[in-house]
A and B are shown apart, each in its own frame.
Chain A
Amino acid sequence: MLFNSYPFIFVFLPAVLLGYFAANRLGPTAPVIWLALASLVFYSFSNWPFVALLLASIAFNYVIGWLLISRNLREGRRFAVLVAGVAGDLLTLGVFKYAGFVLSNIDTLFSTSFAVNILLPVGISFYTFTQIAFLVDAYRGKVAHYALPHYALFVTYFPHLIAGPILHHRDMIPQFESNDSKRPNPRLILYGLIIFGIGLFKKTGLADGIQPLVALAFHQASPSFDQAWIGALAYTFQLYFDFSGYSDMAIGISLMFGIFLPLNFNSPYKATSIIDFWRRWHMTLSQFLRDYLYIPLGGNRHGSLLRYTNLMITMLLGGLWHGAAWTFVIWGALHGLYLCINHAWINYGPPIPARLQRPAGVAAFLLTFLAVVVAWVFFRADSLASALSLLSRMADPGQIVFGRTEMVQGLLIAVYAAIAWFAPNTQEITGYDHKNRLVGENIGPWQVRPLLLYGGAAAFAFGVLGIQQHSEFIYFRF
């Protein structure tokens, strides 16, 4: 079931919301069980063959977590249990997500004729990562024992289950345990609706609206210079509005239940460096990779060379997390390289004189955006060959069409760029503060209540009007 569908907005969500608050009369655990069951129903609508896999994964990790938290095992055994748990998770992910990729590469190298075609369970990357974090923290002694319903809800919670944000148990489970969130709060419901409406409009109005232009670059054998750039930029904005729209919707839905989800985006295309970009793009994934991969690898604690090596490993695996294809590996490698260059520049680059700070800032912003667009070409392309072909078109200004159609398309791209670069983001508009569990406060004087209220209503209405028959989110396939 998609967030951007009539059945979800007008049937599923209201019914689950009403049931959640009604169940509170039966005791504090009842709403948690209701929400976990509703999440399984949500998942089963489009992925029923994999509900058993999801439940098995929850059971497996809960048992491993219980062994680590509640049993007084010796250190060696605890470590062995952790390794078994993480290996089990990675093995499952590997079989479903990477087996086909590995075998096809072996086939290419050795002509083995081995091939498998395994369906990818939706959301497996997300729910596997959240549970690995839980196991590692349980091993580190940072986790108290959680009740099974709360743990199951933490994994299955439908606003995030399919495409994140990647949740952290220490952030979520205390909220599920709190009684405050189980009573209806009209204010949180209102702000949840406004945030959901903004996200829905981003998806159905903006991302779906620019989608046809992407084909100019990626579905055409030989685009011209301008068509290649229009297509690459269109994908750059489509991906942002699609994924950040989904994340806004997830945050808005969750807020209606009184649960604050972490932010996933903070105007990433306003970044003035790649380091800055990764603090703004898919923030929960960046935090996960930092805490559970980069730092355990040694982070920056063992000298420059190892730091750069760790950065490259982290970003390569981050790329591979997105999908089993060499294009994602190259995308990750490019970002790893960008980050290494960025860190090297900070450490060894010349200081910028005060009078050049502003132009240098503009240059850094443009260079960052350009680097990100180039990397997105690999992210989107069907193969390395087509990515390189498109990049060669983007580097060949000798072939330009720039007719009336391309001018209008360029105008449309400019409007999207203006929104991404200059418009306030959702949390700035609504005053959403995940850390302090606040919303609608500390907002600017221009966000007077009627404007926010009716602007949010308009976003919601236009978002609903923009719903197409079937428009999946790009990140569903990861």
Chain B
Amino acid sequence: MNSPLKDLLRFFVASVLIMLAAAALNFTVDPLQIFRASRQFTAVYSPDSRLQNAGLIRSQTFDTLFMGTSLAIHFRQSDIDRILGVKSLKLSMTGSSSREQVFVLDAAMARKPRRVIWEVDDWVFHDTPDIDANTYLPADLYRGGPKGIASYLFSGEMARVSVWIAAQSIPAFKPILKSLTSETLLKFPISDVDDINTLQAGEDVGARYNAARAMAAYRYITDPARRKYLLDDTDYDMKVRVFERDAIGLIKSHPDVTFDIYLPPYSILQWLALRETSPETLTSVDEFSAYLCRRLMDFPNVRLFDFRAIKEVTHDLNNYSDVIHHSPDIDLKVLQWLAQGKYRVDRARPTEYLDQLKAQVEAYRLVSEGQDALTDDFGQGGASR
């Protein structure tokens, strides 16, 4: 063997050893808690819920799953547990499709939860690529197969997190590392599972949720240059097909699990935007809503709650950061309504709340869309009935 060949061999051996060392470190520290709950090392969590959920469903103890989109992302598990008397695991994912939600819920079903609380938006039911083509959700890691485990163990990013966690176990390094811990350098900056994707302590809720912001968002989405995006939501048949495949498929395959499904309280501006810019979309959404409400009544393990017509919430624009996202105060109200069984859809009148909403949307009038009209029932919203 001549020297270049020996060097080539050394190169490969050194590369493989470094990769194996990284894998061994990841296995030992296990940042996602895939193999075991953290005991020897500090538990840390990532706000990237598509990644983090893969670990949470293995490491956490729960009897209730909490799922949804960004509208259900700020809930605290401790609030859910306290108000509903359960042991919950929040799995909400910002911008998630029904395919993603059902895939994650299905993976968590292996731990035999008794109940699923599911925040449902009509727009999550749309055609999306197969879950294995989803570059943001590590499907193989959820499945726990060799490919998923290998991608976790041989991940440089995980190795960086592992080094960070391992270094924090050395008392001398802990203060400086803690002060440097941020999402910039570390994808796992959260130290308490209850804090995952909640608003940070000290955050100015009033500055984040107010009528001015809601109205600004309304003006933004109804701008003629952007209003075409509202037209993307008119394929009723596609929504029904995806809804049947994902939501109904999951509900049918788990008859022993109670599904508390709720339709969240968007601001009235969301519906107004549809009415003013794309009435055909509004009609399609209403028709799909009606289908969803009736269809879910077919299942004894489903309790459906419709919060969309609660005027004291949806018409107070100070509850919103844009046209749909409500404040943590409304999160708590949602939990209380669920606990009290309020606004539960009656099997005999499945579209009762939907009909109320339609009447509200039809009757609602903006005072003026101009800046001068920022005076109304609620102080600064630019809109009133």
Q: Which residues of A contact B (CB under 8 A)?
A: 185-187, 189-190, 193-194, 197, 204-205, 212-213, 404-405, 408-409, 412, 449, 453-454, 456-458, 460-462, 464-470
Contact = CB atoms under 8 A, between A and B. Distances in A.
Given A453-B11, A467-B156, A469-B138, 18 more contacts: A185-B4, A186-B4, A186-B7, A186-B8, A190-B11, A197-B15, A212-B184, A408-B180, A409-B184, A453-B10, A457-B14, A461-B16, A461-B19, A461-B22, A464-B154, A465-B18, A465-B22, A465-B156
B159 interface: yes
Interface of B: 2, 4-5, 7-8, 10-12, 14-16, 18-19, 22, 135-136, 138, 154-157, 159, 179-180, 182-185
Contacts of A404: 179, 182
B135 A470 contact: yes
A404 B18 CA distance: 33
A222 to B, nearest CB: 11
B156 A193 contact: no
Given A190-B4, A408-B185, A465 B159 contact: yes
B195 to A, nearest CB: 16
Nearest to B21: A461
Contacts of B155: 465
* Closest A-B pairs by Cβ, 10 of them: A465-B156, A457-B14, A461-B18, A186-B4, A466-B156, A187-B4, A470-B135, A461-B15, A457-B15, A469-B135
Contact of B18 (A449, A458, A467): A458
Contacts of B16: 461
B61 to A, nearest CB: 30
Contact of A465 (B11, B19, B180, B185): B19
A197 B18 CA distance: 13
Grouping DSSP codes into helix (H, G, I), strand (E, B) and loop, the B interface class, with mixed when no group exceeds half, is: helix
A464 B19 contact: yes
B17 to A, nearest CB: 8
29 contacts: A185-B4, A186-B4, A186-B5, A186-B7, A189-B8, A190-B4, A190-B8, A193-B11, A194-B11, A204-B156, A205-B156, A212-B184, A405-B183, A408-B185, A409-B184, A449-B7, A453-B14, A454-B10, A457-B18, A460-B11, A461-B14, A461-B18, A461-B19, A461-B22, A462-B18, A464-B15, A465-B18, A469-B138, A470-B135
A406 to B, nearest CB: 9
A460 B18 CA distance: 10
B128 to A, nearest CB: 15
A464 B2 CA distance: 27
A408 B182 contact: yes
Contacts of A408: 180, 182, 184-185
Nearest to B155: A465
A467 B19 CA distance: 12
Nearest to B19: A461
Contacts of A462: 18, 156
Given A405-B182, A409-B184, A465-B156, A454 B8 contact: no
Contacts of A197: 15
Contact of A457 (B2, B11, B184): B11
Nearest to B136: A469
A185 B7 CA distance: 12
A121 to B, nearest CB: 22
Nearest to B154: A465
Nearest to B138: A469
A408 B182 CA distance: 8
B90 to A, nearest CB: 23
B70 to A, nearest CB: 16
A366 B242 CA distance: 56
A320 to B, nearest CB: 24
Contacts of A194: 11
A227 B18 CA distance: 36
Contacts of A467: 156
A453 B7 contact: yes
Contacts of A212: 183-184
A7 to B, nearest CB: 12
A213 B138 CA distance: 23
A168 to B, nearest CB: 29
A190 B156 contact: no
B15 A460 contact: yes
A452 to B, nearest CB: 10
Contact of B157 (A461, A466, A470): A466
Contacts of A190: 4, 7-8, 11
A205 B157 CA distance: 9
Contacts of B11: 190, 193-194, 453, 456-457, 460
B168 to A, nearest CB: 16
A412 B156 contact: no
Nearest to B179: A404
A469 B129 CA distance: 15
Contacts of B2: 186
B78 to A, nearest CB: 25
A186 B135 CA distance: 36
A189 B6 CA distance: 12
A138 to B, nearest CB: 39
A189 B7 CA distance: 10
A186 B5 CA distance: 6
Contacts of A185: 4
A245 to B, nearest CB: 15
A212 B159 CA distance: 19
